[in-house]
A and B are shown apart, each in its own frame.
Chain A
Amino acid sequence: MQLRNKDILDIASLLPEEINFILDTAEKMKDISKRPIKKVPTLRGKTIFLVFFEPSTRTRLSFDVAAKRLSADVISMTASSSSVVKGESLLDTVKNLESMNPDIIVLRHFCSGAPHFISKRLSVPVINAGDGMHDHPSQSLLDLMTIRENKGSLKGLRITIIGDIAHSRVARADITGFIKMGAYVVVCGPPTMIPKGIEVLGCRVETDFSKAVKGADVIMVLRLQKERQKHFLLSSEREYNKVYGLSLKHIENADQDVLIMHPGPVNRGVEISNDAADSPFSIILDQVTNGVAVRMALFYLLAGGIKDDN
């Protein structure tokens, strides 16, 4: 099997069988990270550009590690150190990068649709590492992998996503990915953070926190962006924690084998309590581990690893 498109732009563009194929590949990749020598020569001689127009530690590091474990050469560029500050357009920037013949460009950008915009104008494969409020396909894939690992399959699972759905690309990517793989998704948060028409993605809105958590197989807690108060979306972190913060006492109403997830970074005591984040139900760190595996799989599949193996 091969992926149909040259790019990974959003989770909506992947077929369920492509998602399973990526996750199967990622599971094989996961072993590499457990070896004493965590490096294979698969992508030796390939060049991967990480182009980040937004601050990121975890995602950038994860892509970086993934590429290096496959022996690719990785070059990182961030907006502040680039000619963007001199007024160069995104398109000019990436066309210049393309002229250096990379094999993959990974783009994180603060504008929704930025990777879609450049991918149409470039022949090099583009991986979206998060675009504005739109999508974050590698995050959705690593979440799918982590759930699949624990539950066997997504089919029929009840997954609740709590937090600022409106401004979260992780929420959009996860809702789309989870539903595509057969789960039921409920979103919960203050109505100021639930976007109009979110049902179009196939999920259901539940504003009552206890009802949203009740019977859930998986609870995904989103990070509360600290600057949201400025936009009148909430009164205080204290009140947010009181109404929408997840703690162990809520888990009693959920499924016995409930999984607690969080895309990170965690605001302990705001959207999730210490006891919940560190409980046996929490698979937050597994998500991070799987992030590397999923990104290795994407690099391998897009940089022609298959062909080179033959």
Chain B
Amino acid sequence: MIIKIIGGRVIDPGQNIDEISDVYIKNDKIIHVGLSKPAGIEREKDFKIIDASNKIVSPGLIDMHVHLREPGHEYKETIETGCRAAVHGGFTAICCMPNTNPVNDNKEVTEYILKKAGDLNLSRVYPVASISCGLLGKKLSEFSHLKEAGAIAFSDDGHPVESSLFMRRALEYAGGMGLFIISHCEDLELADHGVMNEGDVSTLLGLSGIANESESIMVMRDIALSKLTKTHVHIAHVSTKESVIAIGHAKAAGISVTAETAPHYFTLTDKAVLGYNTNAKMNPPLRSDEDREAVIGGLFDNTIDVIATDHAPHAVIEKELEFDLAQNGIIGLETSLSLGLKLVHENRLTLFALIEKMSTNPAKILGLETGVRPGIIADITIIDPDLNYTVCLKDFYSLSKNTPFDGWQLKGRAVLTMVGGKIVYSEL
């Protein structure tokens, strides 16, 4: 069967395209893009028509930073509920972090995740394997075995690599195999068990603070080690002004570094913690308004390449607690695009740049082929940028409900998600 998406505004930053076009899909591939009819196609009445007028047709969105919690913590999220949340949010592909139980430090876990995800036929799942066995920072995981099994990158996310020597060796080792490292940058000793950003709000609430520098010191270290080892390092969840500046300098110096931030860092500040709101507790913590502005600036000037959610599902019993004792993290898959579009509606970022950061750039970093052009696998997200709606927990597919955005009035979201020519989510 042929699917014809008509009248949509096709934005594909990878080809520098922004124009009204029809998109023809046959089986799993895009066969034609343009207002003309493709050659050799006759019986148009058999087509499945999707009317995308006044909507954006984008290459499928990719979230590089997701915690799926399976295996081991299926009460928070399973591969299935996570993938359903992903396609609801417009994501055709997600990368899942290795801090499961058991840790994804061996090919059996990688294969298990890929088998489960493959059977679901929802979003694509690319496992990120751990740098160190058991996330302990002592012994390198078997990168080559893991790559062969399907691991797309390596990270000790959530358990930052404290040893500079270990990080150096990990980068060297990965570089030799054409792999790259995603780094959760945090000097744990400097962070000193803090539970929120250090500043006026932490002082007011009597909560122990985490200085910006506990992130930026490690960002600077990893930039230095990337230069030393000539290996690509991708900085996860950038939250501070100092990190943005350091990454900007590194890029100007030609060092192979890329970076991501999460929607909450450009949407919220540490004021969201007031009232001891545990749905505003995450690591790195929500920062000051100055940091939020710097993060938006970094997105605008391409210092920050990627928007990724750090989707971190937690059960109610892990959040309905004293602030000090609550788990870090919030879910993000089902609000990420709308929060990105909020920046667009506020004229802080162009739609083109948003799609670049949510699709084109992550694909480039991960080495995936993407785009809205003939011959490419049809991973497509259709976005209604002007749809007003209220965020409502009961509409979420994620098993966990830990979000600070419940009840927010937002504008714009994904209305159709297509993976390999198959419609996996649709409101059209």
A113 to B275, CA, bound (A): 8
B210 smallest CB distance to A (angstroms): 11
A7 smallest CB distance to B (angstroms): 14
> Does A134 contact B325, Cβ atoms closer than 8 Å?
no
Which of A59-67, A197-205, A284-292 makes up part of the contact surface? A197-205
- Chain A interface bracket (under 10, 10 to 19, 20 to 34, 35 or more): 20 to 34
Residue of B nearest to A110 (CB): B324
Q: Would you give the 0/1 interface string for B164-204, flagging 1 where the beta carbon is closer than 8 Å to chain A?
A: 00000000000000000000000000001000001111111
- Given A198-B203, A201-B203, the answer on whether A114 and B209 have CB atoms closer than 8 Å is no
Give the residues from 84 to 119 in chain A that come closer than 8 angstroms, CB to CB, to chain B. Answer: 89-91, 109-114, 116-117
A172 within 8 A of B: yes
Residue of A nearest to B324 (CB): A111
> Does B321 contact A196, Cβ atoms closer than 8 Å?
no
B39 within 8 A of A: no
B19 within 8 A of A: no
> Does B321 contact A90, Cβ atoms closer than 8 Å?
yes
- Given A111-B325, A196-B198, the answer on whether A117 and B276 have CB atoms closer than 8 Å is yes
> Does B206 contact A116, Cβ atoms closer than 8 Å?
no
B315 within 8 A of A: no
Most chain A beta-carbon neighbours within 10 Å: one of B199, B203, B211, B321: B203
A135 within 8 A of B: yes
> Does B202 contact A195, Cβ atoms closer than 8 Å?
yes
> Does B323 contact A112, Cβ atoms closer than 8 Å?
yes
B205 within 8 A of A: yes
> Does A197 contact B323, Cβ atoms closer than 8 Å?
no
> Does A117 contact B204, Cβ atoms closer than 8 Å?
no
A112 to B325, CA, bound (A): 10
> Does B206 contact A131, Cβ atoms closer than 8 Å?
yes
List residues of chain B with CB within 8 A of the CB of A198: 203
Q: Would you give the 0/1 interface string for A171-185, flagging 1 where the beta carbon is closer than 8 Å to chain B?
A: 010000000000000
Give the residues from 126 to 140 in chain A that come closer than 8 angstroms, CB to CB, to chain B. Answer: 131-135
Q: Would you give the 0/1 interface string for B302-328, flagging 1 where the beta carbon is closer than 8 Å to chain A?
A: 000000000000000100111111000
Residue of B nearest to A90 (CB): B322
List residues of chain A with CB within 8 A of the CB of B192: 231
List residues of chain A with CB within 8 A of the CB of B282: none
B81 within 8 A of A: no
Say which residue of A111, A135, A172 sits within 8 Å of B323 (CB atoms): A111
Residue of A nearest to B208 (CB): A133
> Does A112 contact B205, Cβ atoms closer than 8 Å?
yes
Q: Would you give the 0/1 interface string for B205-236, flagging 1 where the beta carbon is closer than 8 Å to chain A?
A: 11111010000000000000000000000000
Q: Would you give the 0/1 interface string for A54-79, flagging 1 where the beta carbon is closer than 8 Å to chain B?
A: 00000000000000000000000000
> Does B276 contact A113, Cβ atoms closer than 8 Å?
yes
B194 smallest CB distance to A (angstroms): 11
A262 within 8 A of B: no
A196 to B211, CA, bound (A): 10
A46 within 8 A of B: no
B275 smallest CB distance to A (angstroms): 7
List residues of chain B with CB within 8 A of the CB of A109: 322
A110 to B324, CA, bound (A): 9
List residues of chain B with CB within 8 A of the CB of A110: 324
B26 smallest CB distance to A (angstroms): 56
Most chain B beta-carbon neighbours within 10 Å: one of A89, A91, A111: A111
A111 smallest CB distance to B (angstroms): 4
- Given A90-B321, A111-B323, A113-B322, the answer on whether A134 and B200 have CB atoms closer than 8 Å is no
A89 to B275, CA, bound (A): 20
List residues of chain B with CB within 8 A of the CB of A111: 322-325
List residues of chain B with CB within 8 A of the CB of A113: 205-207, 276, 322-323
B61 smallest CB distance to A (angstroms): 36
> Does B321 contact A200, Cβ atoms closer than 8 Å?
no
> Does B206 contact A89, Cβ atoms closer than 8 Å?
no
> Does A196 contact B276, Cβ atoms closer than 8 Å?
no
> Does A89 contact B324, Cβ atoms closer than 8 Å?
no
A169 within 8 A of B: yes
A258 to B207, CA, bound (A): 33
List residues of chain A with CB within 8 A of the CB of B206: 112-113, 131-135, 169, 172
> Does A132 contact B276, Cβ atoms closer than 8 Å?
no
List residues of chain A with CB within 8 A of the CB of B325: 111
> Does A196 contact B324, Cβ atoms closer than 8 Å?
no
A110 to B325, CA, bound (A): 11
- Given A111-B323, A117-B322, the answer on whether A89 and B317 have CB atoms closer than 8 Å is yes
Residue of B nearest to A166 (CB): B203
Residue of B nearest to A91 (CB): B320
A134 to B324, CA, bound (A): 12
- Given A116-B276, A196-B209, the answer on whether A89 and B200 have CB atoms closer than 8 Å is no
- Given A112-B207, A169-B206, the answer on whether A200 and B276 have CB atoms closer than 8 Å is no
B201 smallest CB distance to A (angstroms): 8
> Does A201 contact B204, Cβ atoms closer than 8 Å?
yes
Say which residue of A114, A135, A169 sits within 8 Å of B322 (CB atoms): A114
> Does A200 contact B198, Cβ atoms closer than 8 Å?
no
> Does A117 contact B317, Cβ atoms closer than 8 Å?
no
List residues of chain B with CB within 8 A of the CB of A114: 322
Say which residue of A89, A90, A135, A196 sits within 8 Å of B199 (CB atoms): A196
List residues of chain B with CB within 8 A of the CB of A117: 276, 321-323
> Does B275 contact A116, Cβ atoms closer than 8 Å?
yes
Most chain B beta-carbon neighbours within 10 Å: one of A91, A112, A135: A112
A109 to B199, CA, bound (A): 23
- Given A90-B322, A91-B320, A116-B276, the answer on whether A200 and B203 have CB atoms closer than 8 Å is yes
A231 to B193, CA, bound (A): 12
Pairs A–B under 8 Å by Cβ, sample size 7: A90-B322, A112-B276, A116-B275, A117-B276, A134-B206, A172-B206, A196-B211
Q: What 11 new A-B contacts, CB under 8 Å, besides A113-B206, A135-B206?
A: A109-B322, A110-B324, A112-B276, A113-B205, A114-B322, A117-B321, A117-B322, A196-B199, A196-B200, A196-B209, A197-B202
Residues on B lying within 8 angstroms of A by beta carbon are 192, 198-209, 211, 275-276, 317, 320-325
Residues on A lying within 8 angstroms of B by beta carbon are 89-91, 109-114, 116-117, 131-135, 169, 172, 195-198, 200-201, 231
